[in-house]
Amino acid sequence: MVNFLDLKKINEKHKIELLKACERVIDSGWYILGKEVKEFENEFAKYCGTKYSIGVANGLDALILTLRAWKELGYIAPGDHVLVPANTYIASILAITENDLIPILVEPDKKTYNISVENCKKNITSKTKVILPVHLYGQISEMDEIVAFAKDNNLLVLEDCAQAHGASLSGIKAGAWGNAGAFSFYPGKNLGALGDAGAIVTNDIKLYEVINALRNYGSHKKYENIYTGVNSRLDEIQAAMLKVKLNYLEEDIMARRKIALNYLNNINNINVILPFCSQVEKHVWHLFVIRSPKRHKLIEHLDAKGIQTLVHYPIPPHKQRAYSNLNSLELPFTERLHDEILSIPMDPTLSQDHCNRVIDAVNEFK
């Protein structure tokens, strides 16, 4: 069996270090917002190249709290429009609607499947206040163009970096381009905790301070509440796990790039569309997503060969029951993508032999 992602194997490599870190937290007697969170925040900000980082409970909260903080700061207001790629994971859209903002679903670029500035231009109005690029599958969006477009139109930029820890463009990492970047450390992400976790990175001290309070009941000082905040704190124990795993992120990215290169160089089935990437640094290959108009048959073929695959994602947000108000939107390229995409095994521990088995099986598909 070729596993899609073997989380047990990934974490087993660091078991001794992870256990030691657990023990340190247990023995400290301090479990919420202490030394581990502070140290991880500093190390993660340094890794991303930003001044600040704030640990939160998960990636969805990282997105929600950033938009919420911009409302508290008076930068945006309910009813404002947010440009977002139509083919993103539902979390990006939930963060917008949770804040009573309006998601404007933009058809993605035909090659990268990331947000297209050209299509954003067609959707901009006086209500547009935010652009929320999603670095889908691990590939950073065209942030130079996006930031220029945002400047021209007075938009705030919130990067959804949940799939793209460490991806970079012109030497600037995902999260450091926008006014803020939101990360998830869900176990299956490229930097994964052993439970739920997330973070926001930013260079804006005001945003940093507001989110710091919002995540902790709206309070900077115990029992004094400035905002009607929430409880969305990063646990000390998860911060300790993440400190261990951050040390291996670059190594894992290299392993993913090697697998991706092997796939790109050796999958030659003319009925399969391979992912597009113009520069090595741009992509950290959270997922390796191919396309086939006969996806269902391809899944069956690979399954028969013992190869696990997944679809990210089978239903676009605007076709979900939860967004019945958006169901009538017509987004043909997005819909086509959702019918054709297939994620094949991508795991930093994937062996050369398993990688070759995937290549042979995809090439044999007719």
Of residues 134 and 176, the one with the C-beta less far from ligand PLP: 134
d(CA 159, CA 140): 9
Closest distance of CB 342 from ligand PLP, Å: 17
Quick check: 60 binds ligand PLP (CB under 6 A)?
yes
Parallel, antiparallel or unpaired: strands 288-291 and 341-344: antiparallel
Of residues 66 and 216, the one with the C-beta less far from ligand PLP: 66
Quick check: 184 binds ligand PLP (CB under 6 A)?
yes
Decide if 217 contacts 207 (C-beta within 8 A).
no
Quick check: 198 binds ligand PLP (CB under 6 A)?
yes
> From the list 48, 91, 143, 358, which residue makes contact with ligand PLP (rule: CB under 6 A)?
91
Quick check: 89 binds ligand PLP (CB under 6 A)?
yes
Quick check: 116 binds ligand PLP (CB under 6 A)?
no
d(CA 161, CA 171): 16
SS3 state of residue 181: strand
> From the list 50, 87, 92, 343, which residue makes contact with ligand PLP (rule: CB under 6 A)?
92
Of residues 50 and 92, the one with the C-beta less far from ligand PLP: 92
236-246 and 35-48 helices, crossing angle to 10°: 40
Burial of 86 (0-12, 13-18, 19+ CB in 10 A): buried
Give me the residue whose beta carbon is nearest to ligand PLP: 59
The phi and psi torsions of 82 (rounded to 5 degrees) equal: -125, 120
> From the list 58, 99, 141, 238, which residue makes contact with ligand PLP (rule: CB under 6 A)?
58
Quick check: 163 binds ligand PLP (CB under 6 A)?
yes
H or E, element range at 323: none
Burial of 349 (0-12, 13-18, 19+ CB in 10 A): middle
> From the list 36, 160, 252, 347, which residue makes contact with ligand PLP (rule: CB under 6 A)?
160
Task: Report how many residues bind ligand PLP under the rule CB under 6 A.
Answer: 15
Task: Classify residue 274 by its DSSP letter.
Answer: P
Of residues 94 and 226, the one with the C-beta less far from ligand PLP: 94
Closest distance of CB 182 from ligand PLP, Å: 7
Q: What angle do CA 218, 223, 225 make, to 5 degrees?
A: 30
Residues in the chain: 366
> From the list 55, 59, 178, 275, which residue makes contact with ligand PLP (rule: CB under 6 A)?
59
> From the list 156, 158, 162, 253, which residue makes contact with ligand PLP (rule: CB under 6 A)?
162
Q: Tell me which residues touch ligand PLP (CB under 6 A).
A: 58-60, 88-89, 91-92, 134, 160, 162-163, 184, 186, 196, 198
